[in-house]
Structure 1
Amino acid sequence: MNRFKSTIEDFDKINKEDPHKELVNGKEVPKEWIYGVRMSEMLMEFCPSASEILRLAARCQHIKRWVIPREEFPMDRKGYLLWRTKLKKFHGELAGSIMRQNGYGEGEIQKVDDLLNKRRLKTDPEAQTLEDVVCLVFLKYYFDGFIEKHREEEGKLVDIVQKTWKKMSDKGHKAALSMPHSEQALRIIQKALE
């Protein structure tokens, strides 16, 4: 088996341990495992020529995320940013150790770490592609649930879409607008873009 395939399998094996489940086609599946699969599928749809390194970064974006729960940080903006910073560092280190076991060199490991930590977002096209894919996966699979959860806070929903939009490239915007959206999601997206 080649190193790419075995690394992806190792990422998946860890993410299948996620105690949090999501219902997909009537079947409960581990939440972070299905997120990784969706990231890979969206990347190949959005950028079929993605490099091996970018494909690895997409798959391990949330690796073992459940071990650092959001609730352990203050429930404000500062707490959220602290949580995200700690997660990115953790994802990069864990992905790096798995890549190392599978024969990847330090330069390749560093590149995945850079992508996961969103370093050089505006200067590295692969970092921008990964950011676009993260946003597209959110809009396709998680936005409707987010709307349900924050139904009474339309201003917050519009703000989230505007922030998401700012992170995306023109190519990402086109992909987002060409996706099928629920009526409620489309209304909020249109409001955000006015």
Structure 2
Amino acid sequence: MSASPKLSMAFQLFDEANSEDPNTEIYKGEEFPKELLYAIRMTDTLSRFAPDASETLQLAARCQHICRWKIPRDAYEMNRVGYLRWREELKKFHVQKASEILAMVGYGHDVIQEVQLLLLKKQLRKNIDSQTLEDVVCLVFLQYYFEQFANKHSEEKVVEILQKTWGKMSADGQKAAVGLPISKKVAVLVKKAIS
């Protein structure tokens, strides 16, 4: 994937914002701000899954969770309604934060609007970039975060979440998911969910 000067500057500003995350994660012996690591994983996964990704898709992948910690899950009711409200507020917040940075870098209205559409998860299945972003989100979740999630929940819930995740993916995304480097435990759960 090629990087224009604007893209490089936007990545730098996204990363600076995510570097302020007080939550950290250890990866390969190094401590990272959690959302910075997530953003890097999104870009790395996109570059493998869709090496010819458009600039707007690259931007959306990098800022998918920008400053996510500022709207914590526990600020909303711990039920399905609260979860859905939290997700909607997060989407709006990510759009606002990303749009401010993109405008600062000098991107025009059309690019900003396209990134907004992608972050809002609009036109899944209809828009190839929206679907590719969703595939990458699912691949990152399965490779890096699913096992930790699975350890906290019942097998029934885990299988249900896996089935929903699988259903959001394209055939290419599902094919890539089968080839992910995952543990035997996760592989068994995936097989159970998709059989």
| Category of TM-score, reference length = shorter chain | over 0.9
Distance 1:170 1:122 in 2: 11
1:7 corresponds to 2:7: no
- In the TM superposition, 1:67-82 aligns within 5 A as 67-82=70-85
| Structure 1 residue aligned with 2:187 | 186
| Structure 1 residue aligned with 2:36 | 33
1:105 corresponds to 2:108: yes
Moved more, 178-187 or 34-43: 178-187
Distance 1:2 1:167 in 2: 33
1:171 corresponds to 2:172: yes
From 84, 97, 108, the equivalent of 1:94 is 97
Distance 1:109 1:180 in 2: 34
Structure 1, unaligned stretches of length 5 or more?
none
1:119 corresponds to 2:122: yes
Cα distance, 1:138 vs. partner? 0.3
Moved more, 1-10 or 45-54: 1-10
Moved more, 123-132 or 178-187: 178-187
Moved more, 1-10 or 23-32: 1-10
- TM-score normalized by structure 2? 0.97
Counterpart amino acid of residue 136 in structure 1: L
Cα distance, 1:122 vs. partner? 2.0
| Structure 2 residue aligned with 1:133 | 136
Which runs of at least 4 in structure 1 moved beyond 3 Å after TM superposition? none
How many percent identity over aligned positions? Answer: 50
Distance 2:125 2:168 in 1: 9
Counterpart amino acid of residue 71 in structure 1: D
Moved more, 7-16 or 21-30: 21-30
Counterpart amino acid of residue 21 in structure 1: T
Can you list the C-alpha shifts for 1:147-184, whole angstroms capped at 9, x where unaligned? 1222xx10000001000000000000000001122111
Can you list the C-alpha shifts for 1:45-86, whole angstroms capped at 9, x where unaligned? 000000111000000000000000000001111111100000
- In the TM superposition, 1:11-22 aligns within 5 A as 11-22=14-25
Q: Secondary structure at the match of 1:113?
A: helix
Please report the RMSD computed on the Cα atoms of aligned residues, expressed in angstroms: 0.9
